[in-house]
Structure 1
Amino acid sequence: MTRPVLYLIATAAGPAQHVDAGIRAAQAAGWDTCLFLTPTAATWWADAMAELKSLTGHPVRHRYTLPGQSGGLPEADAMLVAPLTTTSACKWAAGITDTVALGVPAEAVHLGVPVVAAPFWSTALGAQPAVGRAVETLRGQGVRVVFTEGEPHAPKQGDATGFGWDQALGEVRRVLGAVVG
């Protein structure tokens, strides 16, 4: 039996520096995990991109392919956008899909693929009115936005190494079960 495919999509927040922990948690939960990074998050892993490819067994996507090219990934059964920044939330909600990390889930949610987003941002950034509107817009489109334990965090107090990967993955499993079941 094949494992279900999860697209793990990391935007440029602190936990993206530890996305390998998210990959391992997803794999331990039974997912065949494919990784997408925003361009900024990809720069953080530039010297270790081969490590991420080896860990997932798939190419790591951080930019769009050329028309007619394959991204080399299996079709997703579900997607987890984690960590999600305020910038990416606002762009996604506004329909700005200038990166593959935003374009893939923005399209997928309207194709019936379960999409969960787990933000990592400070209460100061989250207090911006546009952020709350973005979260509600995403939820209105069918994205399950779940704040893991400790989120949002006080300014300069986020725990990037203690990000709630397991909690976010549990929500993906629940959403997928609700869709499949």
Structure 2
Amino acid sequence: MATTNTDKRDETLTGDEIVTTGSEETEGNAESEGPEETAPAPATAPAPATPAEGATGIAAGAAAVVGAALGLASLTGTWAGTILTQRATLVGQIKVQTGRAGDQIATLYGTPWHTTALVNGAFALLAVIVSAVALSRPRATWAKAVAWGGLALGVLGILVSAGMYFDLFASLPALPKSGRPGS
């Protein structure tokens, strides 16, 4: 007169809840001594993120923020760009004073302008690369949004820098063709 209670359950962790599937089979004869109670299956808590998973999420978030910052820097300019532009201006002034500059306008204005475009373009390219890497990794929703923003700023920075370098927005000033001043 024994009752055998076989409990076959599958517990699957989905998000914050546990889904239990399976069936209970009861075997025995009709003359049982009473209902046999079974202990409920212990609920399992979600496993904590392993250090590798947490580090990947943190790295993707940090890369997204860095990409957005580089994209913004490519549009607003950086300290390095300012220093290199001032250096190009100084080198141009030295060339003009020593008589080694053939075109003074290009030497004093064009070269520093193009230097700024190159530095900002380099920052924009870095923003695109870092943001693309951040988008290729597992990440949180906010990190994905920031990475897309960094990618957009980087692409815009590349376009602006290319326009500056190739003088699409403003051409170099030119001296008038006539030989008389004021004409």
Q: Provide the TM-score with structure 1 as the length reference.
A: 0.21
Higher-Rg member (1/2):
2
Q: Provide the TM-score with structure 2 as the length reference.
A: 0.21
The structure richer in helix per residue is: 2
